Copies of this chain bind each other. A is one copy, B any other.
Amino acid sequence: MFNKVLIANRGEIAVRILRACRELGLETVAVYSDADRKSLHVRYADEAYLLGPAPSRDSYLRSDKIIEIAKKSGASAIHPGYGFLAERADFAQAVIDEGIAFIGPKPSSIAAMGDKGVARATVTAAGVPVVPGTEAEGSLSDDDLLKVAPEIGFPLLIKATAGGGGKGMREVNKLEEMPELLASARREAESAFGDGNVYLEKLVEGARHIEFQILADTHGNVIHLGERECSLQRRHQKLLEESPSPFMDEDLRQKMGEVAVRAAQSVEYVNAGTIEFLVDGEKNFYFLEMNTRLQVEHPITEAVTGVDIVKEQIRIARGRTLSRQQEEIQMNGWAIECRVNAEDPYSNFMPSTGYISHVLLPTGPGVRVDTGVYPGFEISPYYDSLISKLIVFGETRAEVILRMRRALEEYKIVGVRTNIPFHQSMMDSHRFMAGQFDTQFVEKRFSIDKTRKGQEAHPHIAAIMATLVAHQHTQRSAHVIQRNERDTSNWKWMGRWERIHR
């Protein structure tokens, strides 16, 4: 039984795991790159060790160094979080070989689900339907893929074999554009996972992306915690998730939940994992993939089921039985998560970096924030643009949407641009409110600029505020030029000026 845990990750998820460890009385070890000395995970851990320079391959992907630090510090367990080394079977095996507990599934399960071909064959054998594609056929060359593409039919998706999280994924609508897209998908996959292999998959149109949270212990108990609706994506990156899905009914939930459990059992799964499905308009569902790790969006399931998934992961890794059986799992209320990314929604979601000078968090009833940033932290270009997850929960979907609106309006972050305005537009979208959306909604039928039409807009207020700030600047310049003279302008709004001289 371990009592010191190394968290092989950074950002909000490292903080999330640290908190669970603290609340269980476990000691914690953080690892960090040169760019992350002042990160919250370093500040909150009991111990912290430098891995190396900022780029991931020199730091958070250095499995050898991480295992060395675990041994040196006496950490008897490693939690990989998500991303980085979380779904690397070789890493999990190396950890176990050193006699250290890996807080996650068995290496064989990671390998089985990580190779999309094996995954497909395995779940098909267990009677789970899959989307047509090439993932069973190993690593194909561009020539082979171009040959097989017309057989699958367009539109189709290029997906990274080692992938997840939308990295290295491209949508192809006709053969001619495929060579270029293959090249960029391989490039992105190579840089994200160190593996440029890709496969093709039919694009199911008008589909929803719905996933089931699985928990499995070492005693053969496997349960699911219901579904998460994850259809709202851009470039195959999830932006907003909710639980339950407005599309779900109790009958479909039970059917999909059973299939999800069966899929997990087919690879003798242990610990927390997620089965992703595509669901079409007729409620046919297809296995997409299994994420053999903690998911970014796990908090919405925690909010509606009351299960602390990270604590449950640790419990499982300690060899205990699950704290609840399937009959004891109830979904109560509703929860939505907005992923707050350092991206400018008005400049094609271009990443934004910079020094965070001010943060005002939304708080109050039904609001949870998971974040790794704070005022004084620098957002660097080296890692993911996710800086915070805003999770809101309440009794009904309508209440939660209204609560999310007020939370988004309250949330202030100065120093980088964020996609908060995107989420505000989404909360105002009639189609979103009605629950009418699929995986292509964000890209094809939603525009941040257009949703506000019909809403009460305030151009005159914007004009007044721009004018008053411009006026203030003019006054201040005059003030600086005449600083030896007596200041007679006496403008109330010289806030920054006053502060500097405080």
Question: A368 touching B364 by the CB < 8 A rule?
Answer: yes
In the docked arrangement, what's the CA distance between A368 and B362, Å? 10
Please choose the segment from A20-28, A83-91, A118-126, A225-233 that sits at the chain B interface, where 4 or more of its residues have CB less than 8 A away: A20-28
Question: B376 touching A23 by the CB < 8 A rule?
Answer: no
Which residues of chain A from 373 to 428 have any CB-CB distance to chain B below 8 Å in the complex? 374-376, 394-395, 399, 402-403, 405-406, 410
Question: B44 touching A410 by the CB < 8 A rule?
Answer: yes
Closest to A355 in B: B502
Which residue of B361, B365, B369, B395 contacts A19 across the interface (Cβ within 8 Å)? Answer: B365
Which residue of B299, B367, B370, B406 contacts A368 across the interface (Cβ within 8 Å)? Answer: B367
Asked if A284 lies at the interface with its beta carbon under 8 angstroms from chain B, I say no
List the B side residues contacting A410 at CB < 8 Å.
44
Closest to A371 in B: B363
Asked if A29 lies at the interface with its beta carbon under 8 angstroms from chain B, I say no
A489-502 CB mask vs B (1 if < 8 Å, else 0) is: 00000000000001
Asked if A220 lies at the interface with its beta carbon under 8 angstroms from chain B, I say no
Copies of this chain present: 2
A side interface size, CB within 8 A = 40
Asked if A360 lies at the interface with its beta carbon under 8 angstroms from chain B, I say yes
A136-157 CB mask vs B (1 if < 8 Å, else 0) is: 0000000000000000000000
Minimum CB–CB distance from A61 to chain B (whole Å) comes to 26
List the B side residues contacting A374 at CB < 8 Å.
360
Asked if A16 lies at the interface with its beta carbon under 8 angstroms from chain B, I say yes
Asked if A302 lies at the interface with its beta carbon under 8 angstroms from chain B, I say yes
Asked if A15 lies at the interface with its beta carbon under 8 angstroms from chain B, I say yes
A-B contact pairs, 8 of them (CB 8 A): A23-B402, A23-B403, A25-B402, A306-B333, A308-B394, A360-B374, A360-B375, A363-B370
* 8 nearest A-B residue pairs (beta carbon): A22-B406, A363-B369, A23-B402, A19-B364, A23-B403, A360-B374, A361-B361, A364-B370
